[in-house]
Every structure is written in structure tokens, then in C-alpha cells.
Structure 1
Amino acid sequence: MADDALTLESLRNQIDTLDQQIHQLLNERAKCAQNVADVKLAEVAPEERASVKFYRPEREAQVLRKVKDRNQGPLSDDTVAHIFREVMSACLALEQPLNVAYLGPAGTFTHAAAIKHFGHAVVANSVDSIDQVFSEVESGEAIYGVVPVENSTEGMVNHTLDNFIKSTVSICGEVELAVKHMLLVNKSADTSKITRICAHQQALAQCRNYLDKHWPNVPRVAVSSNSRAAQLASDEVGTAAIAGDMAAEIYNVDVAVENIQDSAQNTTRFLIVGREQVEPSGEDKTSIIVSMRNEPGALFSLLESFQREEIMLTRIDTRPSPTEKWAYLFFIEFEGHQDEPAIQRIMEELSERSVYMKMLGSYPKAAL
């Protein structure tokens, strides 16, 4: 027993020593980040300092990939990457706090996506609609915005796609978030006396099988967001909500049942929008909008350029044209960066063949 106690004490002392070293290195990294900010500001005239970029999406993606590549455990690649994500977030806040708009209220999955992508040091501001996220970024009120673009079970978020048609913002990044729905109730609630279940309409759809099996006779009420549903559950003993664990914490409600989503692979993808173009990171995607002439072979003509250049398409979706009856816009996403010669050749061809083409941006593939 004495030997065991001595071993345990020595291990704890070793941990204390390592913690001290980690702490010192964290502060050294933070000072280095501050020096980076000083160098950037010194390189421009005083009147131009407000426009200096401190956050570089391609650089952060490269750092996170390196973290995962060199990791040898026992911590998982994603765990180590999340730790470094928070370190970078805290260091960046010393250079320039990031103001990011997201579809609120607080506790939505879009809020969680913003924290996952930018870290907890970000200044996350809730807005009421996807339109407003785009407006906040366009006006400069927010440096970046976070909007949902597709769900693995419910498909594309058409409202987001429609905003890209009229907006001047660019896509600067992407983040994927595993959607884990919880059944939330008031802390004083008796689950046998629940009179209604509230959630956003997409969450109700994503949990349809579970609700049909376990709560077939309880009315389901669609509300503006899952966070709004959690608010209602917090205020009303007879109301249950479907939302995530972040909403449960913020609105102080109990988790009655975890993981009630019908698909274990339920994932939502979000896009980061900003006002600048992003430099190549080495592993990138590009998104465009194209409208082809209404003639035979138009779609084949559109795709043929990508096949010839051996560029992998990752998504194609269509939306009705806002200006022409029975005409459609193609939202196309593919691997590569717009600065690459092959991509530039494709863009030149599409410009010549299409009625309308808009570059939405090139951005790093999700690193987390």
C-alpha cells in the first residue's frame, strides 16, 4: 500500500509539473499571437488598421490538420484538435475579438456550430433570421456569420441558398455538427402529464419515428427554433421540448431522454460567410451558382468541364430562378480552390456557356 501511495503521489507531482509547463507554453503562445498583431499593424498606415485581417481561415485549417496528423494518442485526433481550437480562439481574442452573427436564439444548433468553428472566445451575436445573418455581415456589423445549409436527413436549407443569389457575401468556411436531439422538460415536470411537445419543424421531422412510438397522442407544435421550445419548457410544466444539450444548459431544463433523433448519423452542415476571399489551404472546396441556357444538353454541357479536368463534384442542387419562369439555378460545390489553374479553366468555360454565373467562394474543408 505504501508503494502504491508513493507511486500515486509521484504521478500527481509529475502531472503538476506538466501542468506548469503547459501553462507557461500557453502564455508564450499568447504573447507570440500578440506579436503577430503588432507586426500586422506596423505594416499598414494608421488609417488602414481597422481593415487588418487577424483571423485567417486557411491558416487555422492548416494548423488543425497538422495537430491531427502528428497526434499519437492516447487522446483522439478530434479531442486534441478541439483543445487547440480553444487555444487559438483565446489567442485570437487577444489580437482582435471576432464578432460573429448566428441564427438564434442562444442555444440553437447554429450557435453550437459557431462555437465549434470559432471557439468559446468568439463574440457570438444572436439574430432572428437567416436573412439577418447575411445583412449583419454585409453591413459590417458582424465580421462573419454562420448559417445552416443542409441536413443529412432533411436536405438543403433553401432559405440559405436563396440568400446567396442576392447577397454579396462570400463563403469562408464550413463546419459539420452531429445533431443529437434531447427531450427536455421543466425541472418540476411529470413526464406522464406532458400535454404538448414543441420544436422547430425540422427537429420534429427528424424525431418523427421516436415521437410516433413513444408519444403518439401528444400534440406536436412547431415553433421558431428549438431554443424557443426549450424556453417554453422552462416556463411551462406541461410542455416538453426537443433541443440540444446546449439549450438544456442555457434554459435550465432537465434532459428526460437523450438521442431521440431517428438517424444516428443525423448531421447538419453550416457555412461561414464573410466579406473577403480566402487563400488556399491545401484542402479546399469551391461553391458557385450557375444558370444555363434552356436547351437540350445544357446540364451535360455544364458537367462536362468538370469531368475533363477531373474535378470532384460534391453537391449539385437546383432552385427556381427568381427572374425567369421555369428556369433554374444550379448550386454546385466541388473540390479545389478558385486560384488553381484547372478551376480557372472551368470557370472561363462556364462563363462563356452560361446565362449567369456567380462565384460564392473557395474555403477550407471542415477540419473539425
Structure 2
Amino acid sequence: MTDSLDSLRDQIDALDQQLQTLLNRRAELAHAVADVKRREDSNPVFYRPEREAQVLQRIKERNQGPIDGEAMARLFREVMSICLALEQPMRVAFLGPEGTFTQQAALKHFGHAVESVPLGAIDEVFREVEAGAAHYGVVPVENSTEGMVSHTLDTFMSSSLKICGEVELRIHHHLLAGPHTRRDKVTRVYSHQQTLAQCRQWLDAHLPTVERIPVSSNAEAARRLRDEWNALAIAGDMAAELYGLERVQSNIEDRPDNTTRFLVIGRQDTPPSGRDKTSMLVTGKNRPGLLSDMLLPFREQGINLTRLESRPSRTANWSYVFFIDCEGHKEDPLLKNVLERLEGDGNTIRILGSYPKAVL
């Protein structure tokens, strides 16, 4: 016998009441955790990236549907964000202005219960965290289509901050019109330089004669449409909603798998989570075979490299620093062996951070 509509609704109402009771009980336990941390440590750390990554990974692994595992993890991400805010309100700096993909990445990683603070440049985000004005910062580091964000890499060379997390965000770009846009008179399109590059083929095919004007961010491109009638902008969902713009065309990025990786920066080291990455700077005396000698210990220990970039060292002409990302935590025995071998060969190593792999 099939339940009636009223019966099904009664069951949903009863479950909602149970969920509400359990969520409040979870919040009470978060309060208790905060009290214990304050009693045991005069300078307690409330946000634990490795702990949150482990919890979210378990949620995905044990999920049996019909809710998708990613969706379930995002739901718990918000619950955890609210509970963490009861322990300590979090302030997270990001590359602004409001409406950027970096803000979207920050909210994806920390949840919406944090205070997100927009700043005008990547180095400003670093300074805000270094000064203690923000607990953490979020900055872009690489895009699957256009490659590395050099400014982020260069800023690490002069910063003492640690990488304590990463965020991978699927990037969808939309062609947007403002309330005063006359679509038959459009002469220009605004967007960030990387976004214009990521949409190059679509623009060549559909707007070949329209001038492409790079601006500081996609959110800035969206903001400009409030006052212009002969322009369009390329930006994402958050910027479109924030500035009340209409989609002319959705998902105009050239590659449907277009993804940007962001780094979470803070002042503390992160303990192992079980599924980690390590980022480091390695320098050595310039000589034939330097790079191949650096990479050999990783191969011998079976450690997978996920990124390798070189940047000018700024200390001497034609001298370079190697940015290396690899799987594993700096406390793992195999990676410890690699680091000891590299230092034994006369290289200088600075660990930028060991941190959990992106879960969401």
C-alpha cells in the first residue's frame, strides 16, 4: 500500500525535527570542543584543515544515495562552517573584488559562515594574513587551460606563510549584458586577461570584431556594465548575480573541463590527513644536469610529482627557483628520505606546506 501525500509529509516533518535536534546537538559539542581547546592551550587553533578533510572524505565514502556524494559533502561543509563559527568567527581574505572566482573558492572551502574579505592584489592577501588581520587567505595558483599564476608563485618567495589547503573550482564563463546594454551596438567586451584567453575560440567565432578589453577581475568587468550601454562582460555566476546582469550566452569557455586551482594560506603547519600534497621551493647551484638530479630521488622513492615550475630567483641573472608539488606529507618516511637526499646533494629546500588534497 502506497503512503498518502499527507503521510509522506508527516514523515518529512518528523525527520526535519530530528535533523534540527541533531544539528543543535552537534553545535553544542562544537562549543564543548572550543572550551577544551581554550583550557589546554593559551593560543588554541580552532580550524584544523586535516581534520575537516578527513571528515568530508568519510562522508563521501560512506554516502549511499540517493543524494550525490559531492552534494552531501557540500551540505556537511556548511554545517561544519556554522559550527566552527561558534568556536571562533573566521576571517578569510581573498583576491577581490566581491564576485570573483576566488571568493567562490573561499566559500567552497570554508563555507558561508566565514567573513570573506576582498583585497585588490595577491600580495595584499599575503600581507593581511601575515599581519594577523585575517586568519587565512585564498589565492589562485594555476588554471588547467592557461597555466600558472606567476604572481602567486613569486610572492611565496618572500613570504613566511604556509600552504594549508587547496581548492579546485570548475570555471564556467558567461557572456553578460547589463540593464542598459544595446546588444546591436556592442563594441567592446570586458573581462580578466586569463578569462579572455580561456574564451578565445568562442570570441573569435561569435564576436570577431568586438574589442576585448582586459580588466583587473571578472567582477570588475561585470561592475562596469552598470554604466555602459555598448559593452558586454564575461564573468561567472556570482558576479552576474551580484551586479544583476543577464546571461546572453552560458558556458563560453573553450574547454568544458576548465578548472582553476586555488591555495589556502595561513600561519601554521598542517598535520597529516592521510591524503596530502607537499609544495616546496628548491634551489641549487646552476650546473648541467641540475634538474634531472633533483627529480631522481622522487622517482627512486616512487613519489608522484603533480607540478614543476621554474621562476627567476631574483638573486642573480639566469638563476632559477624550482616550485615542486608532490603527493605525500613532509612527515611521511619516503618523502623525508627525498628531502634529506636533496639537501645532501647541496640543494636548498623550503617547504611551503604539506596539506590535504582537495576533497570538494
Is 1:141 paired with 2:125? Answer: no
TM-score (norm 1): 0.96
Deviation at 1:28, TM superposition (A): 0.7
What percentage of aligned pairs have identical amino acids? 55
How far is the alpha carbon of 1:191 from its aligned partner?
2.1
The secondary structure found in structure 2 opposite 1:166 is: coil
Letter in 1 for 2:26: R
**Residue 348 of structure 1 aligns with which residue?**
340
Contact kept in structure 2, 1:199 and 1:243, CA below 8 Å: yes
User: In the alignment, what sits opposite 1:57?
Assistant: 49
Matched with 1:195 is: 187
Equivalent-residue separation in structure 2 for 1:187 and 1:109 (angstroms): 23
The one of 17, 20, 23 equivalent to 2:20 is 23
In structure 1, the partner of 2:115 is 123
Q: Secondary structure of 2:22's match? A: helix
Asked if 1:98 is matched to 2:90, the reply is: yes
- 1:164 corresponds in structure 2 to 156
User: In the TM superposition, what is the alpha-carbon distance from 1:355 to its structure 2 partner?
Assistant: 4.2
RMSD after superposition: 1.2
**Bigger shift: residues 295-304 or 114-123:** 295-304
1:313 to 302, 305, 322: 305
Displacement of 1:53: 0.5
Alignment map for 1:258-269 (pairs within 5 Å): 258-269=250-261
Q: Secondary structure at the match of 1:235?
A: coil
Task: Give the aligned partner of residue 14 of structure 1.
Answer: 11
Unpaired runs of at least 5, structure 2: none
Code of the aligned partner of 1:127 = L
Q: What secondary structure does 2:225 align onto?
A: helix
Paired residue type of 1:320: P
Corresponding residue to 2:173 among 166, 169, 181:
181
- Please give the alpha-carbon distance, in whole angstroms, between the structure 2 residues aligned to 1:334 and 1:355: 17
CA contact 1:291–1:354 (8 Å) conserved in 2: no
* CA offset digits 1:340-368 (Å, max 9, x no partner): 12211211121222443211010000010
* Structure 2 counterparts to residues 322-337 of structure 1, below 5 A: 322-337=314-329
**Secondary structure at the residue paired with 1:115?**
helix
In structure 2, the partner of 1:204 is 196
Q: In the aligned structure 2, how far is the partner of 1:305 from the partner of 1:244?
A: 42
Cα distance in 2, alignment partners of residues 161 and 175 from structure 1: 16
| Pairwise CA distance, 1:173 | 0.3
- Write the mapping of 1:348-367 to structure 2, written as runs, cut at 5 A: 348-367=340-359
The answer to which of 65-74 and 209-218 deviates more is 209-218
**Separation in 2, partners of 1:120, 1:243:** 21
Structure 1 unpaired stretches of 5+: none
1:221-261 alpha-carbon deviations (Å, 9 max, x no partner): 11111000000012222221100000011111111211010
Are positions 1:296 and 2:293 aligned together? no
Instruction: Give 1:89's match in structure 2, choosing from 59, 62, 81.
Output: 81
Match for residue 209 of structure 2? 217
> 2:133, 2:338 → 1: CA distance?
35
The residue aligned with 2:39 is 42
Please give the secondary structure, in 2, of the residue aligned with 1:342.
helix
In 2, Cα distance between equivalents of 1:241 and 1:32:
46
Answer with 324-333 or 54-63: which moved more: 324-333
Shift of 1:98: 1.0
| Aligned mates of 2:10, 2:250 — CA distance in 1 | 39
Letter in 2 for 1:7: S
Counterpart-to-counterpart distance in 2, 1:209 and 1:238: 22
Distance of 2:107 and 2:232 partners within structure 1? 26
Structure 1 distance, partners of 2:327, 2:190, is: 39
**Alpha-carbon distance between aligned partners in 2 of 1:86 and 1:14, rounded to the nearest angstrom:** 24
Contact residue 185 and residue 234 of structure 1 kept, 8 A: no
Which letter maps to 1:30? Answer: A
Partner in structure 2 of residue 254 of structure 1: 246
Amino acid at match of 2:9: R
1:234 match: secondary structure: coil
